């Protein structure tokens, strides 16, 4: 039986508890939280509940889940690995590359793994994008726009406080950066440009645009805003034979259009009245075009956790490696620097 402890019994702590319930050989045994009401929730769920880290790490645990606000991740991860547990940490792994390096050193010293919950690698929208790009369905890709927009404006609770690691770059940002990096694992990021703003949340970022240029010439743009009352697609991908978009965080709403295989060039009919006399920007003749269904994706909701269980048993390595997380955190730091200095930063990440 794999014994698991949970630090931070809030939204994500309980999300992981529900995932664990799918396995006969995994048992959540205890939780540590600094909020009385969350300790009661843990007891109600049948767990031992502790109000200090010291009491929690005295327990013999195979795996600890860290699901607290972000600034506690590094120190709790180190304490848990030193006490003999593997660690699955919520994203962002840490608040800085420096902290992450200390965590990685501890993992190497103790032989315990440290991995991060980057489960959005298994989301159906992302897998559909990967499949279309990797198969060359829309030709050579030039730009990938990955965007998440909300309507409620401000960040809430600890997410609005810099000392807890609040703000959207540490939140959605690390998922979207991870997805771009994992699309092209063999390519380097050669430059980073960013605009990171606090529009409605005073102390942390609630809007950002980050542009990553990859060594293969692809431009990855990630955009997050908490306040947008009109819709833009979740994904928009420009290829040199076609275009793909997905409207939402799922693979079913969107489309792919491309030039038919036997069409060599483009006609030069002058555009319709509505756009005035333009050839380049006029609509393409419909007979030149084909639309392609977005490829269906199987449900992979348990994929991340299946791998974690196999990794604890020593039967697999965690999907999310410390090298991958380190690249992601380097991009986060370069993005903050680029935004602050209003410069594009050359990188080899």
Which spans of this chain sit near ligand NAD (rule: CB under 6 A)? 7-12, 32-35, 38, 67-70, 72, 90-91, 117, 119, 157-158, 171
Which two structure tokens, joined as six digits, stand for 98?
């420096």
Least distance to ligand NAD, CB of residue 83, Å: 16
- Give the nearer residue to ligand NAD in terms of CB position, either 136 or 157: 157
Placement of tokens 């799922």 in the chain = 250
- Give the nearer residue to ligand NAD in terms of CB position, either 118 or 191: 118
Phi, psi of 65 (to 5 degrees): -100, 130
- Give the nearer residue to ligand NAD in terms of CB position, either 157 or 217: 157
- Give the nearer residue to ligand NAD in terms of CB position, either 172 or 218: 172
Residue 27: other Cβ atoms inside 10 A: 15
Burial bucket for residue 179 (CB in 10 Å: 0-12, 13-18, 19+): buried
Rounded to the nearest 10°, the torsion over CA 116, 102, 70, 324 is: -30
The whole-angstrom separation of Cα 140 and Cα 232 is 23
Burial of 80-108, coded b for 16+ CB within 10 Å and e otherwise, reads bbebebbbbbbbbbbbbbebbeebbebbe
- Give the nearer residue to ligand NAD in terms of CB position, either 159 or 334: 159
Burial of 133-156, coded b for 16+ CB within 10 Å and e otherwise, reads beeebbeebeebbbbbbeeeebbe
Least distance to ligand NAD, CB of residue 163, Å: 11
- Give the nearer residue to ligand NAD in terms of CB position, either 203 or 279: 203
Least distance to ligand NAD, CB of residue 267, Å: 47
Least distance to ligand NAD, CB of residue 31, Å: 9
- Give the nearer residue to ligand NAD in terms of CB position, either 66 or 196: 66
The whole-angstrom separation of Cα 122 and Cα 133 is 16
Burial of 4-26, coded b for 16+ CB within 10 Å and e otherwise, reads bbbbbbbebbbebbebbeebeeb
Least distance to ligand NAD, CB of residue 164, Å: 8
Which two structure tokens, joined as six digits, stand for 331?
């991009």
- Give the nearer residue to ligand NAD in terms of CB position, either 177 or 218: 177
Least distance to ligand NAD, CB of residue 250, Å: 15
The whole-angstrom separation of Cα 12 and Cα 72 is 15
- Give the nearer residue to ligand NAD in terms of CB position, either 26 or 64: 64
The radius of gyration computed from the CA coordinates of the chain, to the nearest angstrom, equals: 23
Which two structure tokens, joined as six digits, stand for 256?
């792919």
DSSP state string for 281-321: TSPPPGGGEEEEPPPP----TTHHHHHHHHHHTTSS--SS-
Q: CB nearest ligand NAD: which residue?
A: 10
């Amino acid at each position: 039986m794999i014994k698991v402890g949970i630090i931070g019994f809030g939204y994500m702590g309980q999300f992981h508890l529900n995932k664990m319930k799918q396995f006969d050989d995994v048992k959540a045994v205890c939780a540590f939280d600094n909020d009385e009401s969350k300790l009661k929730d843990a007891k109600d769920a049948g767990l031992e509940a502790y109000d200090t880290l010291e009491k929690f790490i005295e327990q013999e645990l195979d795996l600890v889940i860290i699901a607290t606000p972000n600034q506690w991740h590094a120190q709790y991860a180190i304490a848990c690995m030193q006490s003999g547990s593997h660690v699955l940490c919520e994203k962002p792994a840490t608040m800085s590359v420096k902290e992450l390096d200390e965590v990685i050193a501890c993992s190497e010293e103790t032989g315990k793994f440290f991995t991060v919950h980057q489960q959005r690698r298994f989301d159906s929208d992302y897998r559909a994008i990967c499949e279309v790009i990797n198969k060359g369905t829309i030709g050579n890709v030039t730009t990938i726009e990955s965007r998440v927009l909300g309507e409620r404006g401000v960040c809430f609770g600890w997410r609005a406080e810099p000392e807890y690691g609040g703000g959207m770059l540490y939140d959605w940002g690390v998922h979207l950066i991870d997805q771009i990096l994992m699309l092209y694992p063999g390519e380097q990021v050669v430059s980073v440009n960013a605009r990171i703003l606090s529009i409605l949340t005073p102390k942390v970022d609630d809007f950002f645009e980050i542009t990553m240029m990859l060594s293969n010439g692809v431009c990855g743009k990630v955009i997050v805003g908490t306040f947008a009352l009109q819709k833009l697609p979740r994904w928009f991908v420009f290829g040199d034979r076609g275009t793909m978009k997905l409207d939402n965080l799922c693979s079913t709403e969107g489309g792919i259009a491309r030039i038919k295989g036997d069409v060599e060039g483009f006609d030069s009919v002058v555009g319709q009245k509505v756009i005035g006399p333009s050839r380049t920007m006029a609509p393409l003749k419909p007979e030149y075009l084909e639309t392609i269904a977005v490829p269906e994706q199987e449900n992979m909701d348990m994929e991340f956790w299946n791998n974690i269980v196999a990794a604890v048993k020593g039967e697999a390595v965690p999907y999310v490696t410390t090298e991958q997380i380190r690249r992601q955190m380097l991009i986060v730091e370069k993005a903050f620097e680029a935004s602050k200095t209003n410069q594009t930063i050359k990188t080899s990440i």
